[in-house]
Amino acid sequence: MRLLLLSNSQTEGLRYLEHASRDIRDFLAGVTPHAVFIPFAAVTRHYDDYLAQVQGAFGPLGIDVAGVHAEPDPVAAIRNAAIIIVGGGNTWKLLRDVRLAGLLPAIRDRVMAGTPYVGWSAGSNLACPTLMTTNDMPICDPRGFDALGLVPFQINPHYLHGNPPGFKGETREERIAEFGVLQPRVWVAGVREGTGLRVEGARVRLLGNATCRVFRGTVPPRELGADASFDFLLEA
């Protein structure tokens, strides 16, 4: 199983996904360069516009990208995909629409068989057991919280430690701590902007220059850098 799970797609001063282009190129080296993109996390923009933006990022890497929304048989498109890409947006809508299209088992089977999966933000959340650690507002009913379950741990993308000056609401850490009280056996990786997790078989590596804050139950969180092993996240 091969997953590239990024926190974000846009970085100040850089083009779309430019901050991750080297990691994407390395991750997909040697793979047939034909990808199927799932744009269902988009809410306020047209899927074709989202697809064009992703094509603009992957095209220079030599990867052709087709949108699953334009396929006459989306399930067959996933089953025949050489690469599966899932973009960010609203995780609740993404999960709902992927479920309604019957794509959850097709994606899971394909990735478990070795097809590379690239996701960012909501697309990274979708690879987890549930969407319970997303940051997004529940704007629709996803017909259940269970997601792909490709990994046994949860991701909180766009992880921000602490609060901006003057903001007195709950911090991201406090929200994840609430999850930990009710789900004490589940690891949660707080993945900061500009970073991501690369999962290959039983190995997990942190990509990028920032650290990752890791949570589990009521145990004090750990701050780990790219030189640390993250393989423990795959422990059930």
Question: Cα 22 from chain centroid?
Answer: 17
Query: Does domain 2-234 match CATH 3.10.580.10?
Result: no
Return the higher-pLDDT residue of 165 and 23: 23
What residue segments make up the domains of the chain, in order of their start? 2-234
- Give catalytic residues, as residue numbers: 121, 136, 158
* Mean pLDDT across the chain: 96
pLDDT at 164: 74
pLDDT at 183: 97
pLDDT at 169: 75
pLDDT in tens, 184-233: 999 999 999 999 999 999 999 999 999 999 999 999 999 999 999 999 99
> What torsion do the CA atoms of 29, 10, 142, 1 make, to the nearest 10 degrees?
20
For residues 98-116, give the mean pLDDT.
98
What lies within 8 Å, CB to CB, of 6 at 6+ separation is: 20, 23, 118, 119, 120, 121, 123, 124, 157, 191, 195, 196
Can you list the positions of beta strands (E) in 7-147? Answer: 34-38, 64-67, 83-86, 117-120
pLDDT at 165: 78
For residues 127-131, give the mean pLDDT.
98
Return d(Cα 42, Cα 45) in angstroms, integer: 6
Return d(Cα 115, Cα 109) in angstroms, integer: 9
Using alpha carbons, select from 204, 149, 200 the residue that is nearest to residue 1: 200
Using alpha carbons, select from 137, 185, 195, 193 the residue that is nearest to residue 12: 193
Please report, rounded to a whole number, the percentage of residues in the chain having pLDDT higher than 70.
99
pLDDT at 56: 98
